[in-house]
Amino acid sequence: MTTDTHYVGRFAPSPSGPLHFGSLIAALGSYLQARSQHGKWLVRIEDLDPPREIAGAADNILRTLEAYGLTWDGSVMYQSQRHGAYQAQIDQWLHDGDAYYCQCTRKQIKTAGGFYPGTCRHLHRSAENSAVRLNVDTPITYFVDRLHGRIDIPATLAQEDFIIRRRDGLYAYNLAVVLDDIEQNITEIVRGADLIEPTGRQIGLYRQLQHPEVSYLHLPLAVTDNGNKLSKQNHAPAIDKSNPVPALIAAMSFLGMAPPAALIKEELKDVLQWGIHAWCIDNLPKTTEIILTKTH
């Protein structure tokens, strides 16, 4: 297959547990979109939050992707190796007056109505025991998703000066993901609809960095009949590395594709090849959640 370097997609799991069916949907959707464009598909391990990580999970995730035939291009990026880049950008913004130290607690913000009102913006707090917030002077009030169309962002959320480094010294997801996507030359992000809410902030970061923003496509989430999304936190079962074809076909059906019954008997590579040729954004369910009829 020829590679079109103009399209670069990615799958970026956190190592907080094994891949489950919900993870497979995100991985497969981003993979099929990239491969159908003859583009690159990268993998990044988002190991930003050590307290939530499980030993061995990152390697298990990579072995699972390999078992499912979802082979990536290039080397795997690890956010834990990117701290220097995150800090350098924060230092630049602090120097330029585009970011500031904040010592407000969650309790104080909750008392203020649940959204941060900019309390510390002009107070010149010290770095000790402080989070770092970015000045949001030009709020992103909406964006256009490739599946869902225009998505409006509540004003209170859009206007909030958000955290880019936490009080405990850990770097914020929004900052890391944008700097990494720029570093990896990502052109489009295909991910689950649970990440719609921070998209406005991420677009704001692209503009703050004077870098062209990517396009976004948020896939429907798999939810149980009680309304909970499949997630590691909700103890969703790991997908089977020893028998990948049934789960792949189930994920394709979930994504609005119509795999023929005979596909279950095909080799893994042929199943994926069918998926690449059959993939079409127009066939994706235009919803943010789909209730699973059975447990995967």
State CA 7 to chain mean position distance.
17
Q: State how far the Cα of 197 lies from the Cα of 148, in Å rounded to an integer.
A: 13
User: In 3-state terms, the chain is what percent helix, strand and coil (to 5)?
Assistant: 40, 15, 45
Radius of gyration of the chain (CA): 20
Is the backbone of residue 274 left (phi > 0), alpha (psi -120 to 50) or beta?
alpha
Phi first, then psi: give them for residue 156, nearest 5 degrees.
-60, -35
What token pair was written down for 255?
Answer: 């994504």
User: Is 280 assigned to a binding site?
Assistant: no
Specify the residue for token string 């583009």.
Answer: 39
Q: State how far the Cα of 38 lies from the Cα of 58, in Å rounded to an integer.
A: 27
User: Is 191 assigned to a binding site?
Assistant: yes
The residues, ordered by sequence, that sit 6+ positions from 241 with a Cβ below 8 Å of its Cβ are 63, 64, 67, 68
Q: State how far the Cα of 158 lies from the Cα of 278, in Å rounded to an integer.
A: 37
What token pair was written down for 137?
Answer: 């002077």
Q: State how far the Cα of 110 lies from the Cα of 114, in Å rounded to an integer.
A: 4
User: Is 46 assigned to a binding site?
Assistant: yes
Bridge-based pairing of strands 149-152 and 142-145 is antiparallel
User: Is 173 assigned to a binding site?
Assistant: yes
User: Is 101 assigned to a binding site?
Assistant: no
What token pair was written down for 26?
Answer: 């995100």
* Binding annotation: 10-14, 46, 102, 104, 116, 120, 173, 191, 232
Which residues contribute to the annotated binding site for L-glutamate? 10-14, 46, 173, 191
In the annotated binding site for ATP, the residues are: 232
Show binding-site residues for Zn(2+). 102, 104, 116, 120
